[in-house]
């Protein structure tokens, strides 16, 4: 027998049932805590008159737990987070009924969750790298955010840069190394970095976000320890020329016809826009929206943001980050972040609010885009 608290009630009247949204958060990632914070904002802002909201937390070991009564709680580091309570043993069944996600509690016989649309707020590995998206595609469940290709490419900084450069979009000089190369030829790699790239350098794990694992290198002596540190978070590492720059961000939204928001500028009070500056220090950075940039240059950067979005085969949403050289005003596309932060202070929702699309309506728009894309994919012949 099904638990009535979980199954969507269908009235005999003509009134349509609310869409059941499953907010997926947490995850096996170094950005697990950031996800709890983003999820709290999403759950709080989803219109309960339109949606029946269920939160599905994934713990650090990859186990799924349904939160039938999502609870937002205070947190010392992040202000507010969505609680992740571990109750029951849940089985995710993607194939019982097309276009719905089914989750069963094996410890409470008959307790079942049916989800009409998934809203992933899973930052980093196993959340925005295409793996989750592939799972939902197999289940034929509509979901918010970029699909498999855009997620996988956007997460891989090296592949993304290659595609962007191939599309004629300016990127900062870089080199990429594997853990095996670093173990076998460390001195050769150090010499190559010193010969090909100019100090200062940034050393980054290839497939993380939120500035996890990043070090700024000012001297050659600092390079090897920074590489060792970055390899704690990934099996490949990028070494990139540091630019004396302003950090400019643009939000892109849409499927076939994406649009760009006004530009914003990050003014970090730390040496760079680190994880601490983004999430742990409330005074770590200032956001200036709109950015003070000449109109013609701003229009060019916005057009480049859309071009970069398309070059990586993205849809739904992405935050596109740029470096603007302080001396020359040359700009470089730094990263296309396909699952940007959704906290109350995150740049992506703030940019759209400044463009005329407030947080709640932005969530509505993302849900509509997910449904439209899902319908398009269902129309493709597979036999």
DSSP code per residue over 89-141: -EEEE-SSSTT-EEEEETTSTT-EEEESEEEEE--STTTSSSHHHHHHHHHT-
CA dihedral 134, 135, 138, 142 (to 10 degrees): -90
Q: Are 154 and 142 in contact (CB under 8 A)?
A: no
Residues serving a catalytic function are: 31, 210, 279, 319, 321, 335, 337, 341
**DSSP element (H, E) containing 165:** helix 157-166
Q: Are 322 and 248 in contact (CB under 8 A)?
A: yes
Sign for the pseudo-dihedral over CA of 8, 135, 254, 330: positive
Phi, psi of 240 (to 5 degrees): -135, 140
Cβ neighbourhood burial of 98 (10 Å; 0-12, 13-18, 19+) = exposed
């Amino acid at each position: 027998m099904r638990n009535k608290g979980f199954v969507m009630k269908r009235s005999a009247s003509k009134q349509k049932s609310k869409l059941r949204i499953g907010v997926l958060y947490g995850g096996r990632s170094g950005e697990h805590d950031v996800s709890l914070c983003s999820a709290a904002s999403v759950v709080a802002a989803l219109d309960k008159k339109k949606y029946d909201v269920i939160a599905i937390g994934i713990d650090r070991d990859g186990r799924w737990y349904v939160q039938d009564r999502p609870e937002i709680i205070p947190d010392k580091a992040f202000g507010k987070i969505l609680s992740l309570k571990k109750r029951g043993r849940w089985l995710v069944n993607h194939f019982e009924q097309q276009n719905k996600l089914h989750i069963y509690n094996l410890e409470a016989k008959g307790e079942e969750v049916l989800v009409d649309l998934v809203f992933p707020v899973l930052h980093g590995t196993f959340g925005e790298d295409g793996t989750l998206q592939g799972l939902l595609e197999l289940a034929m469940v509509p979901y918010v955010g970029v699909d498999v290709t855009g997620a996988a490419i956007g997460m891989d900084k090296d592949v993304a840069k290659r595609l962007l450069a191939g599309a004629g979009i300016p990127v900062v000089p870089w080199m990429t190394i594997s853990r095996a190369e670093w173990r076998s030829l460390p001195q050769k790699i150090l010499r190559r970095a010193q010969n090909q790239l100019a100090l200062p350098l940034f050393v980054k794990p290839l497939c993380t976000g939120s500035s996890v694992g990043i070090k700024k290198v000012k001297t050659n002596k600092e390079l090897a320890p920074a590489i060792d540190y970055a390899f704690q978070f990934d099996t490949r590492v990028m070494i990139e020329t540091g630019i004396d720059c302003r950090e400019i961000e643009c939000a892109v939204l849409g499927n076939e016809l994406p649009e760009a928001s006004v530009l914003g500028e990050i003014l970090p009070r730390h040496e760079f826009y680190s994880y601490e500056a983004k999430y742990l220090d409330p005074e770590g950075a200032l956001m200036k929206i709109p950015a003070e940039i000449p109109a013609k240059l701003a229009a060019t950067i916005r057009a480049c943001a859309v071009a970069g979005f398309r070059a990586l085969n993205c849809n739904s949403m992405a935050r596109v980050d740029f470096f603007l050289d302080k001396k020359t005003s040359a700009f470089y596309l730094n990263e296309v972040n396909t699952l940007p932060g959704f906290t109350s202070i995150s740049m992506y929702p703030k940019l759209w609010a400044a463009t005329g699309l407030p947080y709640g309506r932005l969530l509505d728009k993302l849900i509509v885009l997910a449904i439209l894309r899902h319908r398009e994919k269902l129309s493709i012949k597979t036999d």
